[in-house]
Amino acid sequence: MRKAALVVNSYEQARLLKRYLDDYHRESTGRRTKTIVRSLENGENPNEYITPSQAEALGDDEHCDIIIFPLTAIGRGVNIVFTKGPRARDAAIGSIYFLTRPHPSGDDMQLLQSLAGRATQTLDQHVFGADDDVRAITRKYSDAKRGTFRLAKRLLQEPLQASRLGTELFKPFTANQMVAILQTIGRGMRNGCPVAVHFVDAAWAPRSTSEKADNGRTSMLVQMRLILEECVAHEDPAIRAIYKELYMAFLEPLRRVDRVIYPEDLQTIDDGLYSGDGFDDENGIWEM
């Protein structure tokens, strides 16, 4: 039988959920639930609390029906599959429940690093014309640095909360989280297996819970679809073909997520939150 995965944001949440199941549903569920933790604490049964390095063995564990783990606990390349019997190499996880919308910790620097990397890559790929002189190159470099500093300053001056990020930052914020989300979903697709994915937290699409249309700024699910739609519509046919091979298996289900109300006009709307913010990029201070 394939297993269910309950995905949370932290090891603390994983422990809380496991303890709840043990306290209230021990015989029916708790004893057949295994939780992935960074390391075992005093009193934790090593048969029910395991470390990420032991995760691959869960595929053949006949005493485990449910796996609880934080989104980023299982690293890339770790597969939870059956290794023997008629379903050898099939994904052992058949249902995935994202119990919370993923969100990095307040001191996480991944988004800032991604913004710097994206800006560097964009500048490196720019093709200057034959008539561009040193001044044109300098101007292009200064503009790129100015834009990156502006977003970095905005990101660092406020708490890292999705609800407070404007469109310019919410899109890369979502793209960063997508890596782990799609990687987790992919664990249930190994060897071409189908997987049922449930986004439980209302924060995934808050307006849809009130029968209103969400958009790429209010819903991470809508923004995920926008990003993938943009990829598979790339102007370069070779890149477009690669994106389709990589992402259509995720995009097609995203287009029909039950109870998510997509807007009629699916597009990224610039909220203009960071325009005219008063940041003086030449001397790196805020104008008062």
Q: What is the CATH number of the domain that holds 83?
A: 3.40.50.300
Q: Does one domain contain both 23 and 131?
A: no
* Average confidence score pLDDT of the chain: 89
Measure Cα distances from 170 to 221, 224, 267, 270, 287 in Å.
Answer: 12, 11, 14, 11, 25
The per-residue pLDDT for 277 is 54
Q: In this structure, is residue 165 part of a structural domain?
A: no
When pLDDT is averaged across residues 170-181 and rounded to a whole number, the result is 91
Q: Please report the pLDDT score of residue 276 as a whole number.
A: 56
Chain centroid to Cα 3, Å, comes to 22
Report yes or no on 220 lying in a domain.
no
How far apart are alpha carbons 162 and 102 in whole angstroms?
10
Q: Write down the pLDDT at residue 157.
A: 74
Position 138 in a domain: yes
Residue 266 lies in a domain: no
Mean pLDDT score, 174-197: 95
Q: How far is CA 104 from CA 16, 82, 118, in A?
A: 19, 31, 19
151 domain residue, yes or no: yes
Specify whether 153 is located in the same domain as 50: no
- Together in a domain, 61 and 150: no
Full domain range(s) for residue 7: 3-105+182-198
What's the CA dihedral at 195, 196, 201, 202 to 10 degrees?
A: 130
Of 96, 128, 159, which one is at a domain's C-terminal end? Answer: 159
Burial of 74 (0-12, 13-18, 19+ CB in 10 A): buried
- The answer on 192 and 79 residing in a single domain is yes
- Residue 22: is it exposed, middle or buried by C-beta count within 10 angstroms (0-12/13-18/19+)? middle
Give residue 71's identity as a one-letter amino acid code. Answer: L
CA of residue 23 relative to chain centroid, distance: 31
Those residues whose C-beta lies under 8 Å from the C-beta of residue 68, and which sit 6 or more positions away, are 5, 6, 8, 14, 17, 18, 33, 34, 35, 36
Give the residue-averaged pLDDT of 164-188.
89
**Is position 272 within any domain?**
no
pTM comes to: 0.85
Domain boundary among 148, 167, 198: 198
Mean pLDDT of 20-44: 96
Q: Which residue has the higher pLDDT, 68 or 79?
A: 68
pLDDT confidence of residue 27:
96
Residue 205 lies in a domain: no
Q: What are the tens digits of pLDDT across the range 131-151? A: 889 999 999 999 988 888 887
Q: Number of structural domains, the chain? A: 2
Reported as a single tens digit per residue, the pLDDT across 233-287 is: 999 999 999 999 999 999 999 999 999 999 988 877 665 555 555 554 444 443 3
Q: Domain check: are 96 and 117 in the same one?
A: no
Place of tokens 């102007």: 235
Condensed to tens digits (0 to 9), the pLDDT of residues 89-111 reads: 999 999 999 999 998 776 777 88
What does the pLDDT read at residue 213? 96
224 domain residue, yes or no: no
